[in-house]
Structure 1
Amino acid sequence: MQIIRFRMLYRYVACLALLLVSVLSVTHPGFAQTSGNNMDAVLVVDVSNSMTQSDKNKVSNEAMKMFVDMTSIQANKVGVVAYTDKIEREKALLEINSEEDKNDIKAFIDSLQKGAYTDIAVGVTEAVKILDAGRNPNNAPIIVLLADGNNFLNKASSRTQAKSDQELQQAVKEAKDKGYPVYTIGLNADGQLNRTTLQQIAAETNGKFFETSTADKLPQILSEIFANHLKLKVVPVKSFVANGQAQEIPIPIPNGSVMEANISIMSQKAVEVKLYDPAGKEVKIPSNQVRLSKSNAYTMIKLVKPQQGDWKLQVKGVPKEKIDINLIFNYDLQLEMEPVTAKSYKAGDVVPIKAALVSNGQKVASPDLYKQMKATLIVNDKTDNKTNEVILNNTGSGFEGSFTIPADHTYEIKVKAEDTSFYRETKPLLVDAAKTAGSGTSKPSTTTDPAAESKPFPWLTVVGGILVLLLLIGAGLYALSIYRKANKGFAGQIAIEIVDEDTGEKSNPQYKKLNAFKGKVKLHQLMQLAPEFAETEKVIFLPGKNDTLIIENRSSCRIEKAGRVLDASKGKELKKNDRIKISLTNVNKSLYVDYIV
């Protein structure tokens, strides 16, 4: 056992040593990594009665469903929050891996009901919590808020406008600090839109504000949101008035790296569509290569890994009906820049710049892909807060250039590449020339100091260093255990039934998937943070071993299992199909919880 522990300790020491070497090394081979194409999105919608006027055509529903249809089936996550002056319904982040997953979310959207009052802070606050609880750190987080921006608080409650404003300000600050941009879509069918609130939310979180009263603007709005967030470009295709005959629209696929082409056809009346590949052969809609989604206001065609070339779309609409068509590509490409190799620079030094397109970690060698592309180096002087751009050379397999440091300042640099349908940026890199300022250019003396040669070996320093290293290892192991515990995933789901002990009335089971959470989840979160069940804030679920669930009860609630009171103050294990009863103390209600794997 001691030998095993020693070997484990040796491995940790070796790993730590390698980590230190990599951190202290002068050069870092490879490319600086960029974020992927996936996103974790929370759609937030005002479902108060006032929306009956400001969103009388249910543009919000169409927008949310269209957003879901535009996402690719490759581990994107989408959640939904419907709010009034409380959370009416919510759906935690669901990973989209099939059309069935998309249909599940769209059916949830269609099932949303209206409520009496409005408190925008409630919706934004809950969206931030959902991203906190279930987002993938490798995905780009985003919140899309659909509302008229107005509050209508219940005068019979203790809630004031000042409290709502304070909570909204806090939620917006959290979203900004955590990198959750909020894109706001103002719904203005009745002309009562509160632009100021929605514009401020978007501006303060690095999102964007849009406004519409009809569904025909949705393709452009959602395309811009996708493009801005995932660094894509919207390709305007055509707007025309239908004449009752099939009208042909060219759909150019510029290269073989297009992962998906989303063709949105906006029409208030039904359209008939046919699709032809670059060889002129008709392609079946839908099929494995072509997916079709329809709604009351749009038709969405998604080409999956389409062949490069000129496709053709034939659209037959109702005579005199206006039809708008937009195209947006999802690329399986990233732009990556070679890291800066020197530890420090000074004014006058030349920094070599190289960047290339990468797919699945490999450089893309496709002259056709680079043919129409232009790249620019963006240099942000962090000292003077000024930005300059340097044109880079297109080599046919990448981009090259250089940047001459004008002053002893700190610079943030990144490369931007684009063509008519594509836009990518690298992660910014820091070039630090500020710390060399005033240090002079004299070289260190190479004369040997005889006194230095006669100094004894610094045993005290070495031993002290080893002790510090061991302390760091211990701290690292402890931090690693805490990290693993905090990020351990759940298995299965729970079903919750609410029973009114006074009337015996029982609610339908509410199924809550647990795989959207990491580390722990409070029962109050699963109860949609309803104030009535506030005491469940201290009833906590933790992932256990072998697909079990641990429940910890730090509240005054009584928990029973098989008719016996369960002491869960220090945690109790729940196995597959276990059923517990949680008796509340603040209200005469009970919760029946089933653990389903």
Structure 2
Amino acid sequence: MVMRFEKLLRNLLCVALLLGSVMTGANLAFAGTSGSNMDAVLVVDVSTSMNQSDKNKVSNEAMKMFVDMTSIQANKIGIISYTDKIEREKAMIQVNSEQDKNEIKAFIDSLQKGAYTDIAVGVKEAVKILDAGRDPSNSPIIVLLADGNNYLNAASGRTQAMSDQELQASIKEAQSKGYPIYTIGLNADGQLNRTTLEKIAKETNGKFFETSTADTLPQILSEIFANHLKLKVVPITNFTSNGQAQDVAISIPNANVMEANISIMSQKPVEVKLFDPSGKEVHIPSDQVRLSRSSAYTMLKIVKPQQGEWKLQVKGVPQDKIDINMIFNYELQLEMEPVASKTYQAGDVIPVKAALVSNGQKVASPDLYNQMKATLLIHDLTDQSTSEVAITNTGSGFEGSFTIPADHKYEISVKAEDSSFYRETQPLIIDASAAGSGTATPTPPPAGENTAPEEPFPWLTVVIVALGVILLAALAFYLLSVWRKANKGFIGQIAIEIVDEDTGDKSNPQYKKLNAFKGKVKLHQLLQLAPEFQETDKVVFLPGKNDTLIIENRSTCRIEKGGRVLDVSQGKELKKNDRIKISLSSVNKSVFVDYIV
């Protein structure tokens, strides 16, 4: 009965998708990225060679700053640390709260070093994580922090040629899928392999950065964040602290700023106060102002700030150098008005209009347009030349024209920018070449032919009824599956051993029968809720198919099987006699689990 119901539901869904594509002309392809949200994978080399490049683990602080800058609105972030294997990884999770950010930052703090390094391993895994967890409506990005050098384990049989081949395959895959890789070369010891890192960035449409001191990493990560989301880092000020509260002016240029991220780089802790344009002190932290701190930075995120002149007071340790920058987050896109579909040729003048939009609506904000400049970008696809033409800011949009210079094929787009952000329209193809001269508007019907409109088929009614049936069936199926999942029983038992990594002492195996539980059981429960194992509360076991066990990990624990780190954030199947090792981050102990059927 259930099998038939599932088959019927699948068939109804296929019918609905087909009807939807007929109604809308959709091709069922992925939606274009909006550019305002991102799916980011941060990849860091944690081999021992990095001890000289990043002695104080500033790379960790930089990654945490990147996390803090993201908006709490559907961004996804994943983390990878690698040597010649994947040491730790956190599959992409959606950032919906400060708690989500704190979970990611705690994971970053738990990263540890390893002996060897193979850059191909990190890049390949980053592509896999994006494939598995990205949102098609978000803008994908990979950020790689490394020195670009390999140090392979001779005993493994792995050669440099094998690594190079695997790296090139991963680069091509990232390029084909539109995954830009931004590379940051750490060169404190002068041993940076620029060639490899530049190649990775160039061939995937990312950017390469180089630094000889890890202290500049937060600034570089800020630039990458801004560049990828078409924002700009706005320099505010830099000064040497005198030990007293020093005033800093913060200007919010318009009412369309969604978030203002103020980063305060300093080597010592600072105290901050914030005053709105009316002079009233704003409590930090609060619903409007979020505060993040680390050993390398302090960050304030003002949510939907009021337009006007704000004041920031910063009190640092005497003689400490303080650098303050700001990045605005905007929920804005730039859209070009449609151009008439007709046959084009050299000499034709095409009017061009574009405007900023938010949530599909044009933005009517003179303050937003006040300082903006716009350019028409022209790419001649026939001879591969490019040019730019300034167009007019009307106060509510941008207007200009494109005069076709030759019978070529062109791609045109509009770019608009001010001091804090820029946006570009989707490119538009204008084909005035001989091959494209046949593209014209439809020919009218011959004279005398009956042109009376036929009575349209009631597609809308059909679709509404079909969708209603589908929704009811889906709801029933969902409720049934939830009930079955919550009441599904376990098979077998698990054996648990606890090892003290400092002394090597191992506990006697504890056998836990699973048939007493329904739906799911937490590892913390099986460890008798001992306080020192509190982090295992987010390690969960679920009953699987065919007498298997599913493990999910939402904690900072590291889970290994056969010496390889597993990504079990989305669940991993354990079969009869499988043995896993769960390394705790809060105490230097490991839990070995054997699944026995």
- TM-score computed with the length of structure 2 as normaliser: 0.74
What is aligned with 2:381? 382
Paired residue secondary structure (2:155): coil
Amino acid in the other structure paired with 1:322 = K
What's the offset of the Cα at 1:84? Answer: 0.7
What's the offset of the Cα at 1:231? Answer: 0.5
What is aligned with 2:137? 138
Q: Write the deviation string for residues 535-587 of structure 1: whole angstroms up to 9, x where unpaired.
A: x99xx999xxxxxx997xxxxx9x45xxxxxxxxxxxxxxxxxxxx6489xxx
- Answer yes or no: is the 8 Å Cα contact 1:86–1:530 preserved in 2: no
What's the offset of the Cα at 1:350? Answer: 2.1
Query: Distance in 2 between the 1:305 and 1:378 partners?
Result: 32
Paired residue secondary structure (1:142): strand
Paired residue secondary structure (1:227): helix
Query: Distance in 1 between the 2:444 and 2:105 partners?
Result: 72
Aligned partner (choices 14, 23, 28) of residue 18 of structure 1: 23
Query: Distance in 2 between the 1:541 and 1:369 partners?
Result: 42
Distance of aligned partners of 1:76 and 1:254 in 2 relative to their CA distance in 1, 3 Å threshold: same
What's the offset of the Cα at 1:404? Answer: 1.5
Give the paired residue count. Answer: 499
What's the offset of the Cα at 1:444? Answer: 9.3
- Answer yes or no: is the 8 Å Cα contact 2:347–2:403 preserved in 1: yes
Please say if 1:232 is aligned against 2:231.
Answer: yes
Instruction: Identify the range of structure 1 (123-132 vs 173-182) with the bigger mean alpha-carbon deviation.
Output: 173-182
Query: Distance in 2 between the 1:197 and 1:386 partners?
Result: 29
- Answer yes or no: is the 8 Å Cα contact 1:524–1:533 preserved in 2: no
- Answer yes or no: is the 8 Å Cα contact 2:58–2:214 preserved in 1: yes
Amino acid in the other structure paired with 2:281 = E
Q: Write the deviation string for residues 3-29 of structure 1: whole angstroms up to 9, x where unpaired.
A: x99999997776554345x89xxxxxx
- Answer yes or no: is the 8 Å Cα contact 1:182–1:206 preserved in 2: yes
What's the offset of the Cα at 1:285? Answer: 1.2
**Structure 1: 5+ residue stretches without partners:** 24-31, 454-483, 515-521, 543-548, 552-556, 561-580
Please say if 1:128 is aligned against 2:133.
Answer: no
- Answer yes or no: is the 8 Å Cα contact 1:277–1:283 preserved in 2: yes
What is aligned with 1:85? 84
What is aligned with 1:315? 314
What is aligned with 2:177? 178
- Answer yes or no: is the 8 Å Cα contact 2:274–2:312 preserved in 1: yes
What is aligned with 2:186? 187
Amino acid in the other structure paired with 2:228 = H
Paired residue secondary structure (2:104): helix
Please say if 1:103 is aligned against 2:102.
Answer: yes
Query: Distance in 2 between the 1:5 and 1:240 partners?
Result: 64
Correspondence 1:350-499 to 2 at 5 A:
350-435=349-434
Distance of aligned partners of 1:47 and 1:275 in 2 relative to their CA distance in 1, 3 Å threshold: same
What is aligned with 2:292? 293
Correspondence 1:534-553 to 2 at 5 A:
none
Identity of aligned residues (%): 66
Q: Write the deviation string for residues 363-396 of structure 1: whole angstroms up to 9, x where unpaired.
A: 1111121111111111111111111112222121
What is aligned with 2:266? 267
Q: Write the deviation string for residues 191-212 of structure 1: whole angstroms up to 9, x where unpaired.
A: 2222221121111111111122
Instruction: Identify the range of structure 1 (291-300 vs 213-222) with the bigger mean alpha-carbon deviation.
Output: 213-222
Distance of aligned partners of 1:505 and 1:389 in 2 relative to their CA distance in 1, 3 Å threshold: farther
Distance of aligned partners of 1:100 and 1:530 in 2 relative to their CA distance in 1, 3 Å threshold: closer
Query: Distance in 2 between the 1:8 and 1:185 partners?
Result: 46
What is aligned with 1:198? 197
Paired residue secondary structure (1:392): strand
Query: Distance in 2 between the 1:18 and 1:498 partners?
Result: 57
Correspondence 1:49-64 to 2 at 5 A:
49-64=48-63
Distance of aligned partners of 1:267 and 1:397 in 2 relative to their CA distance in 1, 3 Å threshold: same
What's the offset of the Cα at 1:340? Answer: 2.5
Distance of aligned partners of 1:255 and 1:593 in 2 relative to their CA distance in 1, 3 Å threshold: farther
Please say if 1:346 is aligned against 2:345.
Answer: yes
Query: Distance in 1 between the 2:275 and 2:153 partners?
Result: 56
- Answer yes or no: is the 8 Å Cα contact 2:58–2:215 preserved in 1: no
Q: Write the deviation string for residues 319-367 of structure 1: whole angstroms up to 9, x where unpaired.
A: 1111111111101111111222315422222222111111111111111
Distance of aligned partners of 1:138 and 1:10 in 2 relative to their CA distance in 1, 3 Å threshold: closer
What's the offset of the Cα at 1:49? Answer: 1.1
- Answer yes or no: is the 8 Å Cα contact 1:351–1:404 preserved in 2: yes
Query: Distance in 1 between the 2:394 and 2:307 partners?
Result: 22
CA RMSD, aligned part only? 4.3
Distance of aligned partners of 1:360 and 1:125 in 2 relative to their CA distance in 1, 3 Å threshold: same
- Answer yes or no: is the 8 Å Cα contact 1:381–1:412 preserved in 2: yes
Distance of aligned partners of 1:440 and 1:414 in 2 relative to their CA distance in 1, 3 Å threshold: closer
Query: Distance in 2 between the 1:218 and 1:408 partners?
Result: 48
Query: Distance in 2 between the 1:426 and 1:102 partners?
Result: 31
- Answer yes or no: is the 8 Å Cα contact 1:239–1:324 preserved in 2: yes
What's the offset of the Cα at 1:435? Answer: 4.5
Amino acid in the other structure paired with 1:108 = F
What's the offset of the Cα at 1:181? Answer: 0.8
Query: Distance in 1 between the 2:280 and 2:375 partners?
Result: 40
What's the offset of the Cα at 1:75? Answer: 1.0
What's the offset of the Cα at 1:281? Answer: 1.2
Correspondence 1:584-595 to 2 at 5 A:
592=595
Distance of aligned partners of 1:316 and 1:341 in 2 relative to their CA distance in 1, 3 Å threshold: same
Distance of aligned partners of 1:214 and 1:434 in 2 relative to their CA distance in 1, 3 Å threshold: same
- Answer yes or no: is the 8 Å Cα contact 1:292–1:302 preserved in 2: yes
Distance of aligned partners of 1:512 and 1:199 in 2 relative to their CA distance in 1, 3 Å threshold: farther
- Answer yes or no: is the 8 Å Cα contact 2:130–2:140 preserved in 1: yes
- Answer yes or no: is the 8 Å Cα contact 2:292–2:299 preserved in 1: yes
Amino acid in the other structure paired with 1:340 = V
Distance of aligned partners of 1:445 and 1:429 in 2 relative to their CA distance in 1, 3 Å threshold: closer
What is aligned with 1:94? 93
What is aligned with 1:517? none
Query: Distance in 1 between the 2:369 and 2:235 partners?
Result: 22
Paired residue secondary structure (1:159): coil
Amino acid in the other structure paired with 1:180 = Y
Correspondence 1:148-167 to 2 at 5 A:
148-167=147-166
Paired residue secondary structure (1:156): helix
- TM-score computed with the length of structure 1 as normaliser: 0.74
**Structure 2: 5+ residue stretches without partners:** 1-8, 450-473, 498-505, 511-522, 524-532, 542-548, 581-591
What's the offset of the Cα at 1:218? Answer: 3.0
Please say if 1:74 is aligned against 2:98.
Answer: no
